Chain A
Amino acid sequence: MLAGGTETTSSAAEWIMSELMRKPEAMAKAQAEVRGALDGKSPEDHEGQMDKLSYTRMVVKEGLRLHPVLPLLLPRSCQETCDVGGFEVTKGTKVIVNAWALARSPERWHDPEEFRPERFADDDGSSAAVAVDYRGSQFEYIPFGSGRRMCPGNTFGLAALELMVARLLYYFDWSLPDGMRPEELDMDTVVGSTMRRRNHLHLVASPYKETELTVGI
């Protein structure tokens, strides 16, 4: 639990914030939505508002598409020789599913390299993207894997991730240090136990007007 449920969630949050910094219009849209829903609410009611944050939740979904925490999932092992895609896979073969490549496949995604949360909206027109969920039923989007060995912690992790992102957007306006332009933010990736930023994300935070009242500082 401790290893599986910590760096995974935080790494995803860091990537999502990085993408938003590179896409100010998505940041503004998500922030307007979060503030519209949470303004005037007491903090313990925040999580109850998450259902209303449809755009912000699409931001999270899009972040996990471009930056799946385990890009190659965890390997599986073939238990008996069988046929996959017309080829023979022998017993004992290590099977690697490139979930990262599936989520950026140009055949399944329009502008796959682009961070565009709107692709998951009902009125977007690209029907394939709208149908995807976190349950691993559409194989072009399997950030938590699929099948028997699918990540059982997806509900746990998503609940934490969505609230974390919503609150970071609600309580602060974010800017890049030293007058850096959005396109200059480094997105260097390193794949260890998870796919994470090579360098931790460093940002300048300006508290939103309501922070003092609600957080009690």
Chain B
Amino acid sequence: MELNSSDTFLFLTTLISAVILAVCSLISRRKPSPGSKKKRPPGPWRLPLIGNLLHLATSQPHVALRDLARKHGPVMYLRLGQVDAVVISSPAAAQEVLRDKDTTFASRPSLLVADIILYGSMDMSFAPYGAYWRMLRKLCMSELLNTHKVRQLAAVRDSETLSLVRKVVYAAGAGGGGRGQRGEAPVVNLGRLVLSCSMAITGRATLGKLCGDEIMSVVDVAVLYGSGFCAGDLFPSLWFVDVVTGLTRRLWTARRRLDAIFDRIIAECEARQRQEEKMTGDDGFLGVLLRIRDDDGEPETGGISTTSIKAILFVSEQV
């Protein structure tokens, strides 16, 4: 793996901070709470400070966690930096967390990326479990994601998947210009084409029209920061590392870029609505969101703000 200078800097900063932490943790050792009778789940050996982070230093964390769980059990304890984590690896334990005790586990841990890019976790995926989240979820279900609405979008899927077929025909034929030197059939980058197809479908359903490159840059931000390494998420007391390494600044830059794109998209949609004066139904989910914002006012009374609209547009599909 090649390290560029910013990676080296990040590494050094983290290392130095780790040393500071080491000293601190030696001074104040965590004591088990006296009242607890139940046992903490079993888990693999841990290093001081970083805990089990090395176990996860792999490109395929799900494989590493499966292998660890085979040794330590379906409910496994890990210490990720300063964060306690439990990994669930059996259907029975998953049912306990996701169904039987769903309410207890219905919130998300806070993440730096979500706090900045998702407008303080105002989207549906990361919003804390509560009234705001319930309102968002209901809104997205009733206006875009329910079976009836999905069926209504058949024409969008039809035309965009046909457009995918045309692009493959073009790339596979002489028009693609990709014919190999020895005359063999041209190779189609299918991955790239299905990505653009899926962006067009979601983009049209959400924004009511094609925004092409703009959607592309939004998705790029999501892909780029979706799995970002954030010292502050693993070591809450080391939040400043993300500032020093410039991650916080880069996230804010991405956020401002998104803001500009969304402001433009929203302004266009508002202009269309003013022109048409009434609901025509072809300004998509965004059009619906803007009407709800204008009708219902403040979030406390069940309405949504422009900021929440941006967060919803960015990410709303969650697991």
Interface residues of A (CB under 8 A from B): 1-10, 13-14, 17, 43-44, 46-47, 70-80, 82-90, 92-102, 104-105, 108, 136, 138-140, 142, 144-153, 155-157, 159-160, 163-164, 167-168, 171-172, 175, 177-178, 189-195, 197, 199-207, 211, 215, 217
Contacts and interface: CB of A to CB of B under 8 A. Distances in A.
Interface string B191-226: 110110111011101100000000100110111011
Main secondary structure of the interface of B (DSSP, over half): helix
B163 to A, nearest CB: 9
A178 B92 CA distance: 46
B62 A71 contact: yes
Contacts of B147: 155
Main secondary structure of the interface of A (DSSP, over half): mixed
Contacts, number: 355
A44 B190 contact: no
B99 A151 contact: no
Contacts of A175: 185
Contact of A108 (B66, B91, B312): B91
Q: Which 10 pairs across A and B sit closest by C-beta, in order of nearness?
A: A193-B226, A4-B317, A200-B191, A3-B222, A145-B319, A88-B38, A139-B91, A5-B202, A153-B317, A71-B62
A155 B150 contact: yes
Interface of B: 36, 38-42, 59-63, 65-66, 69, 73-75, 77, 80, 83-99, 101-109, 124-126, 129, 137, 140-141, 144-147, 150-151, 153-155, 157-158, 161-162, 164-166, 168-169, 171-173, 184-192, 194-195, 197-199, 201-203, 205-206, 215, 218-219, 221-223, 225-227, 285, 312-319
Nearest to A69: B319
Contacts of A153: 145, 316-317
A82 to B, nearest CB: 6
Contacts of B62: 71-72, 98, 100-101, 191, 195
B169 A96 contact: no
